[in-house]
Chain A
Amino acid sequence: MKHTLSPQRYLILLAVMLSASVGDTLLSHGMKQVGPVSIAHLGMLLVAMRNPWVVTGILCLLGFFASYLTALSWADLTFVLPATAFGYVVVAFLSKYWLHEAVSAYRWAGIVLIVCGVGFVANGPSLTQHPPVDESADVLTGGSK
C-alpha cells in the first residue's frame, strides 16, 4: 500500500531539511564572532550562549530534532534520512550566497547526487506496512520470534 503524506507532513519534512542546515550556519556565524574556544577556556562557551546568532542556531537545532522525531513517528528511517541529507545541499547554497564561499564543481556534483537520491525516495511509499503484531513483540527483534 502506498503511503502518501499530507501537506502538513511535507512541512515537517521541509523543517527537517532546513532547520539543521540553517542552525549550523547560524552557529558557525555566531562562533566566528565569539572567537576560538579552547579546552583551557571552556568559560568562553558561556559567553557564546549570550550571542544571538548562537542562541538562534541552537533553537533551530532543537527544532530540527523535534521535527526529525515527529517524522520518524510516521515515516521509515530510510525515507527520512535522505531528507536530512538534503540539508547539506541547503548548507552549500547558504555558504555560496550568504557567506560568499566558493563551491567547487565536485560539490555541485555532490549536490546533484543528493537531490537525485532524495527524489528517488520521495516518489516512493513513506512507511513500510507490517502485518499486525503482538503488543509484546519487540521492535528490534520482531522478525526473530
Chain B
Amino acid sequence: MIAAAPVEVSVFETWATILTVAATAVAGDVLTAAAMRRIGDLDIIRARSGLAGAVWAVVWNPLFLLGVLSMAVSFFSLLFTLSNVEVSLAAPASASLTFLGNAFAAKLFLKENVDRRRWLAALFVCAGVFLLSK
C-alpha cells in the first residue's frame, strides 16, 4: 500500500491530480455505459448466443475497450495522487467528484433524463461519500 508521503504539494497540484482521477473515472464510466447501450440488453444476447456470446460482444466493443483503458488510467492516477496527497482527502474528493461528473456527463453525452430526482441523488451520494471519510 502506498502511504501518504510528507512531500509538500501546491493546492493547484493537489486538485489537478484529484480532478484527473475524477475526469478519467467519469470517461471510463460514460464510455462503458455507451458501449453497453450500443451492444444492447445482455440478457437477450445471453439467451440468444449464450454466456460466451455475451462476453465476446462486450470485450470486442471499441467503446468498452476505451472505457476500460480510461478506468486503468484513473486507477494509476489515483495511485499517483495517493503518493502526493493525503488519502483522507484524495479518495473521498475524487469519488464525490466522480459521482457529480457522471451526472453531468450522462446528461451531456448519453442524453439520459437526469431529472431533479437524479440530481438530488447525485448530490446526496456525493456528500455522503465525503462524510464517510470523516
Flag if A114 contacts B128 (CB, 8 Å): yes
| Number of residues of chain B lying within 8 A (CB) of chain A | 43
Binary interface encoding of chain B residues 102-134 relative to chain A, with 1 for a CB under 8 A from any of its CBs, else 0: 110011011111110110111111011111101
Q: How far apart sit A43 and B28, CA to CA, in the bound complex (Å)?
A: 29
Q: How far apart sit A80 and B40, CA to CA, in the bound complex (Å)?
A: 16
Flag if B124 contacts A139 (CB, 8 Å): no
* A120 contacts across to B, CB distance below 8 A: 117-118, 120-121, 124
* B39 contacts across to A, CB distance below 8 A: 73
Which among A77, A88, A112, A128 has the highest number of chain B CB atoms within 10 Å? Answer: A77
Q: How far apart sit A104 and B134, CA to CA, in the bound complex (Å)?
A: 7
Q: B63 on the interface (CB 8 Å rule)? A: yes
Q: B65 on the interface (CB 8 Å rule)? A: no
Binary interface encoding of chain A residues 109-123 relative to chain B, with 1 for a CB under 8 A from any of its CBs, else 0: 111111011101101
Flag if B125 contacts A82 (CB, 8 Å): yes
Q: A107 on the interface (CB 8 Å rule)? A: yes
Q: How far apart sit A77 and B37, CA to CA, in the bound complex (Å)?
A: 10
* B128 contacts across to A, CB distance below 8 A: 85, 88, 109-114, 117
> Could you show 8 A-B contacts with beta carbons less than 8 Å apart?
A73-B40, A77-B33, A88-B128, A109-B128, A109-B131, A110-B134, A130-B111, A140-B63
* Residues of B participating in the A interface, judged by any CB pair closer than 8 Å: 1, 29-30, 32-34, 36-43, 58, 63, 99, 102-103, 106-107, 109-115, 117-118, 120-125, 127-132, 134
Partner of A128, one of B38, B58, B112: B112
* Residues of A participating in the B interface, judged by any CB pair closer than 8 Å: 8, 36-37, 69-70, 72-74, 76-82, 85, 88, 92, 104, 106-107, 109-114, 116-118, 120-121, 123-125, 128, 130, 139-140, 142-143
* A116 contacts across to B, CB distance below 8 A: 124
A15 to nearest B CB, angstroms? Answer: 13
Q: How far apart sit A123 and B115, CA to CA, in the bound complex (Å)?
A: 12
**Given A76-B112, A143-B111: A121 touches B102 (CB 8 Å cut-off):** no
Nearest residue, chain B, Cβ from A128: B113
Q: How far apart sit A118 and B41, CA to CA, in the bound complex (Å)?
A: 23
* A113 contacts across to B, CB distance below 8 A: 124-125, 127-128, 131
B25 to nearest A CB, angstroms? Answer: 11
* A81 contacts across to B, CB distance below 8 A: 29, 99, 102, 122, 125
* B102 contacts across to A, CB distance below 8 A: 77-78, 81
* B41 contacts across to A, CB distance below 8 A: 73-74
